[in-house]
Amino acid sequence: MSKATISRFVQRGKADQLKPIKLGTAIRFPRAVIDKLAPQGDAA
């Protein structure tokens, strides 16, 4: 799932539980939360 897609979920209020994790200069999101946002069958 792209960063833009995740950002859209956050902006629409559908991912309030999503807290980014900063690793150096990179921003990561918890995999378990991203998988819950993905439509059924799209999660890898």
| Maximum distance among all Cα pairs of the chain, rounded to whole angstroms | 32
So what's the pLDDT on residue 41?
A: 57
Tell me the pTM: 0.42
1-44: pLDDT as tens digits: 787 887 787 788 777 677 777 788 887 877 877 787 777 655 45
Residue range of the domain that includes 28: 3-37
16, part of any domain: yes
42, part of any domain: no
So what's the pLDDT on residue 14?
A: 77
27 CB-contact burial (10 Å; exposed 0-12 / middle 13-18 / buried 19+): exposed
Q: Domain tally for the chain?
A: 1
So what's the pLDDT on residue 40?
A: 67
43, part of any domain: no
44, part of any domain: no
